[in-house]
Structure 1
């Protein structure tokens, strides 16, 4: 009887859960147990605090599942033996399928009207990508190789699908850490951005009231995704998957002739792909891959990337404010990171705080959607150099 119980205990996950087989800073730690605790913390933040719940819940649960011993959910197929469930679902991330599909859905829900009404906001979206390239240099200095540094730097674009797409191509072993960093900082946009905005702008600048944007015609909105696709993909073919899917989704929306398809992209497909993407990305955060010194470096570099990106947009906004004789509120530059629409809402909230009659949301949406394009182009450039 004792032998049966002993065999049962050895076959259970409990027998391995408390083993100190993970080494961090010279300490032997129960890695799976620590990762399960981290996963539960992320579930708490997603459910109770509302931090990016649509993606953070599946990411955290994927992290939870992969760190339960003996499940074999991420085991690769070997010979005649089938792989684990998450291994097969992960192929959509590994092969670069899920992120472009997310971009297709994002395009179907994006209005490029504010960008067309004020084309100068494209420059603000480009300036906010500064964090990507400065962080890339910082990652190189900390010992990461080129593809790894590129994957870390893209966190500065504040665009989760782009970060996952680039990382799956260049540094898949860092996918778990980069995904957690990217989506954590996207969720913390309302906390991270306001202090940076206040530090770099004066109270007078924050009170600037901008004129109402012009109305944008339907023809402009239909032609825009076609022109952007032609120009961008011809210039930078490596950005074709992300830009192409983004603009296809937008064209489907603006054409106005397939409302059911638009509804499917904005709702059903978006949520289905988000679940698959999230759970498989979380499944890459196993204890041996996540509990490393490099993970701490990535988290710090990710915060720097996001902060520098926000600062780059605000600083260019100040330049545009000077050149326009005070007609541009520099705060809208903070929305140049592609955390849509959270960054634009932060700008709107800050603007109303200093001038209750100020409505900056639509002005901020221009740089915000420009940031989506900018991060995809930046990812294409990094792919061109390092793939």
Structure 2
């Protein structure tokens, strides 16, 4: 019996906790949403698998840091000897810890994004800016609850930008202990944009407003797009230097898309690079979802504040469009204001779908892309502001 007991003690079964089993159930729900319901599967699948690894007794093994022995010689020189190289995922997670993965994702987003609709109708920039009110309103709500520090509240508020990489970037900077919960909330609500936004859009608009047809957008030249990428990048970095890692990579990706002579680089940024980084980013986030950090009352608070952030962001964009119509001859369909959140291009598609429910011949998709890409800029600038103010 002693031999059998020794064998069992040497396995992982002896180290299982009931909290791990609870996390397995949560992970099962995430996998169901990703695979069956197809809610953000590209991120939720690797996040779920990373979370599973984090809630098995192998957690300390795969995340083991390298062991290095330092020796001081008689001459005063210090030599290093590698005793243990460390676990595989220790090195993979450095992509988040060293702030590498989120900016690389932004480069891929830039390579996939057409800023033409925003350039053609620059006033839609105001709609993207208005949607960021969800970030700041949630920040103040989190602070007012008394359950979160200023840094944690800022990281939670960014969920309202509907931008997963930015949420991860800010959480890693300001509240790494909440990274798993914030990332899961951000990507889950991004996937639920077609469910969350329409009721808010319909509540804040009437049928006449939903039927507004906007003027066709002019064609924007490649030269305009390249100049826009360089000028806006420089301006944003001068205004909020702390946002440099995200903003710079966004416009670097966009410039290689628009210049017309770097097709191989564009394909790599749009496909291989962003796909590989997405896998590693998801696994790293999942590894932050250990039961000791995730099964906490604060997690429920983060999920609740996240939905509030989305609702406020959606409503703010719609209301801004209605206000702009009071002073404009060329009316804006308020439905595109909801696309001011950064869920590209999902939020723009929601505007299109809701618009066609009111008028089947109305096409709002390209108009909605203006505030949609403006929202990406807005959330990145808001992130930079919080980091500059609270990052120390």
Partner of 1:66: 54
**Are residue 91 (structure 1) and residue 79 (structure 2) matched?**
no
Aligned length: 375
Counterpart Cα distance in 1 of 2:37 and 2:57: 29
- 5 Å matches for 1:211-226? 211-226=215-230
Partner of 2:80: none
Counterpart Cα distance in 2 of 1:16 and 1:375: 42
Partner of 1:182: 186
Partner of 1:34: 22
- 5 Å matches for 1:3-18? 3-17=2-16
Q: Contact 1:310–1:333 (CA<8 Å) still a contact in 2?
A: yes
Q: Contact 1:115–1:366 (CA<8 Å) still a contact in 2?
A: yes
Q: Contact 2:336–2:368 (CA<8 Å) still a contact in 1?
A: yes
Counterpart Cα distance in 1 of 2:311 and 2:67: 44
Q: 2:203 aligns with which of 199, 206, 224?
A: 199
Cα distance, 1:359 vs structure 2: 0.1
Q: Contact 2:215–2:330 (CA<8 Å) still a contact in 1?
A: no
Counterpart Cα distance in 2 of 1:35 and 1:149: 25
Partner of 1:108: 111
Cα distance, 1:77 vs structure 2: 3.6
**Are residue 377 (structure 1) and residue 384 (structure 2) matched?**
no
Cα distance, 1:10 vs structure 2: 1.6
Counterpart Cα distance in 1 of 2:327 and 2:100: 43
Partner of 1:133: 136
- 5 Å matches for 1:295-314? 295-314=299-318
Q: Contact 1:40–1:64 (CA<8 Å) still a contact in 2?
A: no
Counterpart Cα distance in 1 of 2:222 and 2:330: 31
**Are residue 271 (structure 1) and residue 275 (structure 2) matched?**
yes
Matched residue of 1:323: which SS? coil
Cα distance, 1:98 vs structure 2: 0.4
List gaps (5 residues or longer) in structure 1: 20-29
Cα distance, 1:78 vs structure 2: 4.5
Q: 2:127 aligns with which of 103, 108, 124?
A: 124
Matched residue of 1:349: which SS? helix
Matched residue of 1:120: which SS? helix
Matched residue of 1:328: which SS? coil
Counterpart Cα distance in 2 of 1:163 and 1:114: 25
Partner of 1:248: 252
Q: Contact 2:243–2:384 (CA<8 Å) still a contact in 1?
A: yes
Partner of 1:75: 64
Counterpart Cα distance in 2 of 1:355 and 1:146: 45
Q: Contact 1:210–1:329 (CA<8 Å) still a contact in 2?
A: yes
List gaps (5 residues or longer) in structure 2: 69-82
Counterpart Cα distance in 2 of 1:142 and 1:339: 27
Q: Contact 2:356–2:363 (CA<8 Å) still a contact in 1?
A: yes
Q: Contact 2:341–2:372 (CA<8 Å) still a contact in 1?
A: yes
| Residue-by-residue CA offset, 1:242-292 (whole Å, 9 max, x unaligned) | 100000000000001010110010000010000000000010000000000
Q: RMSD of aligned C-alpha atoms?
A: 1.1
Cα distance, 1:174 vs structure 2: 0.6
| Residue-by-residue CA offset, 1:95-114 (whole Å, 9 max, x unaligned) | 11100010011100100000
Partner of 1:22: none
TM score, norm. by length of structure 2? 0.94
Cα distance, 1:326 vs structure 2: 6.6
Which of structures 1 and 2 has the bigger CA Rg?
A: 2
Counterpart Cα distance in 2 of 1:166 and 1:271: 21
Partner of 1:24: none
Counterpart Cα distance in 2 of 1:220 and 1:346: 28
Matched residue of 1:359: which SS? coil
Partner of 2:151: 147
